[in-house]
Amino acid sequence: MTAPKAIPPRSEIAHEHTWNAESVYADRAAWQAELKAIEAELPKLAPYQGRLSESAAVLAEWFELSEALARRVSTLAFYAFMSQACNSTDDEAVSMAGAAGSVASRYGATVSFEQPELLAMGEARLNEWAAAEPKLAIYKHAFHDLFRQQAHVRSAEVEEVLAMASEPFGAVDNTENMLTSADLQFNPIVTAESSTPLVQGNIWTFMESQDRDLRRQAWENYQDGYLAMKNTLASNYIASVKRDVFYARARRYPSSLEASLFRNNIPRAVFDNLIATYRKNIPTWHKYWAIRRKALGVEALNPYDIWAPITQKPPVVPFKQAVDWICEGLSPLGADYVNALRQGCLEDRWVDIYPNQGKSSGAFSYGAYDTHPFIMMSYDDNLGAMSTLSHELGHSMHSYLTRKNQPYAYGNYTLFVAEVASNFNQAMTRANLFRTQSDPAFQIGLIEEAMSNLHRYFFIMPTLARFETDVHERVERGQGVTAADLNGLMADLFSEGYGSEMVVDRDRVGITWSQFGHLYSNFYVYQYATGISAAHALAGRILDGVPNAAADYVRFLSAGSSLYPVDALKVAGVDMATPEAVERTFAVLAEYVERLDKLTGG
């Protein structure tokens, strides 16, 4: 089998296949002009310091001014970040991202007096003002959340310092992105016919190849590229962990984990139940590895076989076909939902579709309150790419409906609920294809796609959450942590999950942690597993014909942050304070394993 085609430079990508940057700013000169205009506006905020308690009218005036500027700053920052993510070799975009980060940090420092002043006023007084002044009425939930977190808000001086620290601390994240997207080099993939560069944008095309030698080369070369930088990557990651610990202690939380959970009002039991449920279900993964090994006809399974196609006729799914199938699967949500999604993909250019040199790895949906919800990905015409597109469109439609229905104050949502919408879209798309595509090869391919998704969410992410917990606890105890420590811990955790069916190259498996920028967000990864759990529970309600289930789900998508995450999910019909949804999704995983066993003649 020949190697995949070479990845083109950004300049060769057709304009219609790129994100609609001009809908945000006409050009980069307009962005630069907006940067200067925002810098000129910042001084208008400072005179309000010490005045928020003067009257309800002054407070309403402050919210109007500060939020208007916040919206402009977030749009400015998004444009720069998206430009850099789509081409990390674009020096101008990199410079823009730095400038945007700087002005965002200055904005944060300038408004840092707000929370301390509001807290000094007292919740009763603010609620009285919210009842008397219509412009303040929408902030009642925000006031409640502020006072819920009162013990962790520091003095105005300390808050200013913490806000100022965000810029230098942010360099840790940018260093990770530049290392892995721009500077990291991999040995090429060599076949009898050619030598093809291995880059972030084409790794998964190789890993999903039917050619085992291509997969082996891709996996080994990819892991080796990270191993060559293991000490730098480890130093940078530990710096991010120390940042988490610093913020947790500065805000007087007992640990980094508690800081993350408290911020979103998530009970500790949600996290603990997830880890316990994962460990209990590890034998299901062992069974899957055994079935996959037999189906592939190999004596021993290697990590590079995890994504190998079992079917010899994997479906080809062009971008437009993917959009059509996704829309069909989501039709129970109604015409308004489907029409907005279709127009976003095919007319308004929400998606930066195809791979190019310098494009960041993975995929994401991102935008500002006043922009479209854009998607960056590297689409490559298969079921996995369709699944990724469906996933990111879940995020995008969540953002679209939130911003359509909520004021700026509630125009976003927490990470805890973010992964619900994305996995819901995948579950609904998959269910429709299982129902309409009867070809056994397609069915096997669809199960493989589902298992690949579950592998990421219910194998890798819980494993990374265990890894993250251990590393944070070591740092919180004052222990030194080296690259060897990180790699050894990762290898141990994966070995437990792989069992006896998988050959574990400890060095190469051990460096896996460095390939997930998610770890740079304090205790983010566990929310992938809780998110997919809620998603399957909610999709099940709709597929089972529960009355009003679709309307309840759209209400959840439209709530933004006007409700706490667990409460918002209760609106949709699931209670994440119990382990029921997690258990149900592991049952789905077990069902797929059984179906695959039967389809492959087990």
pTM value is 0.84
CATH code, domain with 240: 1.10.1370.20
Count Cα neighbours of 169 within 13 Å in the Cβ-side half-sphere. Answer: 18
Q: Virtual CA dihedral for 358, 361, 365, 366, nearest 10 degrees? A: -50
Rounded CA-CA distance 535/395 in Å is: 12
Which run of H or of E encompasses 589? Answer: helix 580-599
| Cα three-residue angle 520-524-528, rounded to 5 degrees | 135
Residues 411 and 558 in one domain: yes
Q: CA 263, CA 152: separation in Å to the nearest integer? A: 10
Instruction: Count Cβ atoms within 10 A of the Cβ of residue 19 and give its class: 0-12 exposed, 13-18 middle, 19 or more buried.
Output: buried
The answer to the question of residue 508 being in a domain is: yes
Q: How many domains does the chain have?
A: 2
Same domain, 154 and 283: no
pLDDT, mean of each 10-residue run, the chain (602 residues): 71 96 98 98 96 97 98 98 95 95 94 94 96 97 93 87 88 90 92 90 87 96 97 97 96 96 92 92 95 95 94 90 98 98 98 94 94 96 93 98 97 93 96 93 92 93 97 97 98 97 97 96 94 94 96 98 96 91 90 93 73
Amino acid (1-letter code) at residue 473: E
The reply to whether 365 falls in a domain is no
Q: Do 331 and 441 reside in the same domain of the chain?
A: yes
What integer pLDDT is reported at residue 154 of this predicted model?
87
CB burial string 279-300: b at 16+ within 10 A, e below: eebeebbbbbbbbbbbbeeeee
R_g of the chain, CA atoms, integer Å: 24
Looking at the structure, tell me whether residues 144 and 128 fall in a common domain.
Answer: yes
Which run of H or E residues covers position 348?
none
> Residue 351, SS3?
strand
Strand 364-366 to 195-196 pairing:
unpaired
Domain C-terminal end among 128, 148, 171: 171
- Residue 202 lies inside a defined structural domain of this protein: no
Cβ–Cβ under 8 Å, residues 304 and 216 = yes
For residue range 436-473, list pLDDT tens digits in order: 999 988 999 999 999 989 999 999 999 999 999 999 99
d(CA 302, CA 502): 6
**Domain assignment of residue 192, yes or no:** no
Residue 602 confidence (pLDDT)? 63
Give CA–CA dist 145/242, Å, rounded: 26
Q: Is 392 a catalytic residue?
A: yes
pLDDT of residue 299: 93
Asked whether residue 107 falls in the same domain as residue 123, the answer is: yes
Partner residues linked to 352 by β-bridges: 376
**422 CB-near residues (< 8 Å, 6+ apart):** 365, 391, 392, 394, 395, 398, 531, 535
> Is residue 3 one of the residues assigned to a domain?
no
Domain membership of residue 586 (yes or no) is yes
Token representation of residue 548 = 């009003």
Q: What would the DSSP string read from start to end of 100-147?
A: HHHHHHHHHHHTTTHHHHHHHH-HHHHHHHHHH-GGGGGGHHHHHHHH
CA distance 602 to 600: 6
Structural domain contains residue 375: no
Spot the catalytic one: 208, 392, 419, 468: 392
Instruction: Tell me which DSSP letter residue 357 carries.
Output: T
Amino acid sitting at position 256: S
Domain boundary among 136, 171, 206: 171
Measure the CA–CA gap between 400 and 79, rounded to whole angstroms. 17
How far is it, in rounded angstroms, from Cα 312 to Cα 303? 20
Per-residue confidence (pLDDT) for residue 34, from 0 to 100: 98
β-strand partners of 195: 190
Of 121, 149, 171, the last residue of a domain is 171
Q: What spatial distance separates the first Cα and last Cα of the chain, rounded to whole Å?
A: 28
CA distance 179 to 176: 5
- What CATH code is carried by the domain that includes residue 89? 1.20.140.70
Q: What is the pLDDT of residue 1?
A: 42
Cα–Cα distance between 272 and 469 in angstroms, integer? Answer: 11
Considering the domain architecture, whether residues 104 and 176 belong to the same structural domain is answered as no
- Is 344 within 8 Å of 396 (Cβ atoms)? yes
SS3 196: strand
- H-helix or E-strand spanning residue 66: helix 56-86
Per-residue exposure over 153-175, b if at least 16 CB sit within 10 Å of its own CB, e if not: bbebeebbebbebebebbebbeb
Q: List, in order, residues 6 or more apart from 2 with CB less than 8 Å away.
A: 191, 193, 194
**Range(s) of the domain holding residue 416:** 172-184+229-348+382-602
- Alpha-carbon distance of 565 to 260, in angstroms, equals 13
The separation between CA 328 and the C-alpha centre of its own chain, rounded to angstroms, equals 25
Residues 332 and 452 in one domain: yes
Rounded CA gap, 169 and 438, in Å? 52
396 and 303 share a domain? yes
Question: Is residue 178 located within the same domain as residue 134?
Answer: no
Bridge partner list, 376: 352, 364
Token pair belonging to 242: 């120390």
C-alpha 568: how far from its chain's center? 19
> Given this model, what pLDDT does residue 4 score?
52
DSSP letter (8 states) at residue 202? T
- Judge whether 229 and 184 are in contact, CB under 8 Å: yes
Q: Ramachandran region of residue 377, left (φ > 0), alpha (ψ -120 to 50) or beta? A: beta
Check whether residue 392 and residue 516 sit in a common domain: yes
CB count in 10 Å sphere of residue 449:
24
Tokens of 490: 């990762």
- Per the domain annotation, does 265 fall within a domain? yes
Q: Judge if 123 and 271 occupy the same domain.
A: no
State the Cα–Cα distance between residues 326 and 323, nearest whole angstrom.
5
| 481 and 549 co-located in one domain | yes
